[in-house]
Amino acid sequence: MQLAFADTRNAPILVLLHGFPLSREMWVEQLATIGCSYRVIAPDLRGHGESESPDGAYTMDEMADDVVELLDRLEVKQPVVLGGLSMGGYVALSLVLRHPGRVRGLMLFDTRAAADSPEAAKGREEMALAVLREGSARWMIETMVPRLFGKTTLEKHPQRVEPMLAVMERTSPKGIAGALRGMAIRADRRGDLARITVPTLVLVGADDVISPPSEARELAAAIPHARLEVIPAAGHLSPYENPAAANDAIVRFLNHLDRPAASGKRSTPT
């Protein structure tokens, strides 16, 4: 007897890339909620979390290739929905441009396509040298916190700050320096955005002061099939700070992605 069965194997695979100097732990709310319905893969990028921290600058292309290597190791051959926050967004842009066949939908959270200005790149090198010299990034993290989180999180949900502080403090000086140096030499992707042909969702925290909504609006306008969602009451870590609103936007995007395919496959009654 051949039993009837349901199989969710075709459910979208969602790959989520964290920001600097965080880890996959920043996707805790997406793994818990969206992970019930979709396969969510959230790696620690090189130099972060439990992944290795090799010497040298971590280019965005290298980090993108690391993610493709992981997908190969997991035997994920079908194109995935790829999301990245800030530095993870730089990596996601690199991945979709280098390996377009591996991506069927793109989500860019609190990120930008422009490269660093020469002053910003110089500042990153100075920071990398200082972190390596002191063997600690505590001071760097302390200066980052008021800019990473939105005012609603800092005033009304301060308990959300501590877990991310702990993640940042566990990032090794070598990992921090490698990522800073890689971001400093990243390419300006603005001229490549028109080549992105997959449906794209650009998300930004309403109170993001690092990659503000004005920049997200420009990013969405430059990508052919992109739309913008502004996450209220959130700063630079929008999917972590306001997971209910971010998850709602993500799930609507995933549902929208699958609707045309599902109706295309529907057989006509005879």
Report the interface residues with ligand MLT, using CB under 6 A: 19-20, 86-87, 183, 210, 236
Question: Cβ 267 to ligand MLT, closest distance in Å?
Answer: 46
- Burial pattern 27-62, b for ≥16 Cβ within 10 A else e, equals bbbbbebbbeebbbbbbbbbbbbebebeeebbbbbb
Which one, 104 or 211, has the nearer CB to ligand MLT?
A: 211
Which one, 87 or 226, has the nearer CB to ligand MLT?
A: 87
Question: Cβ 61 to ligand MLT, closest distance in Å?
Answer: 16
Which one, 167 or 254, has the nearer CB to ligand MLT?
A: 167
**Angstrom distance (rounded) from CA 145 to CA 141:** 6
**Angstrom distance (rounded) from CA 52 to CA 50:** 7
Which one, 104 or 186, has the nearer CB to ligand MLT?
A: 186
Which one, 42 or 254, has the nearer CB to ligand MLT?
A: 42
What are the residue ranges of helices labelled H in the chain? 28-33, 60-73, 87-98, 118-134, 138-148, 151-156, 161-170, 173-184, 213-222, 238-241, 243-265
DSSP 48-88: STTS---SS---HHHHHHHHHHHHHHTT--S-EEEEEETHH
